[in-house]
Homo-oligomer: A and B are copies of this chain.
Amino acid sequence: MSQNTFHRLGDLQLRLMQSLWARGEASVAEVHATLPDDANLAYTTVATMLRKMEARGLVRHRVEGRTFIYSAAVAEEQVSGGMAEHVLDRLFGGSVEALVSHLLTRREVSRDELARLRKLIAERSHSS
């Protein structure tokens, strides 16, 4: 089971991970560049964070000349899934229905999205 430990990622770590998931590999400079301008984070902040994340096993790096090329060491599905499950279990008693009900109530959900959701669930229903 592995007791997924990925539900504690903060927002910055998440953004860095997403940058790596999207690009596959990236240097510190490249990751830094992908952050929105209004983030306004120092280069060294990103570098430090990536080093901390490597110590935690979230990313890894290879060396190219003098620069570190980072890549994600965990799959996006693991992290998103882990965090989603955590919320699901902790707050909704594991009930997907309760979670979805909440989201549909709180948010504007387009007719299109509802249709896709319906389709998605119909498919699951058959294939089980």
Chain A contacts to B: CB under 8 angstroms: 11, 14, 77, 79-81, 83-85, 87-88, 90-92, 95-97, 99-104, 106-107, 109, 111, 113-118, 120-122, 124-125, 128
Contacts and interface: CB of A to CB of B under 8 A. Distances in A.
A100 to B, nearest CB: 6
Contact of A114 (B83, B102, B103, B125): B125
Nearest to A77: B102
Contact of A122 (B97, B103, B118): B118
Contacts of A99: 84, 103
Contacts of A102: 77, 80-81, 84
A96 B85 contact: no
Nearest to A114: B125
A118 B120 contact: no
16 contacts: A11-B90, A14-B91, A83-B87, A84-B87, A84-B102, A85-B107, A96-B103, A96-B104, A100-B117, A104-B120, A104-B121, A104-B124, A114-B124, A114-B125, A118-B118, A118-B121
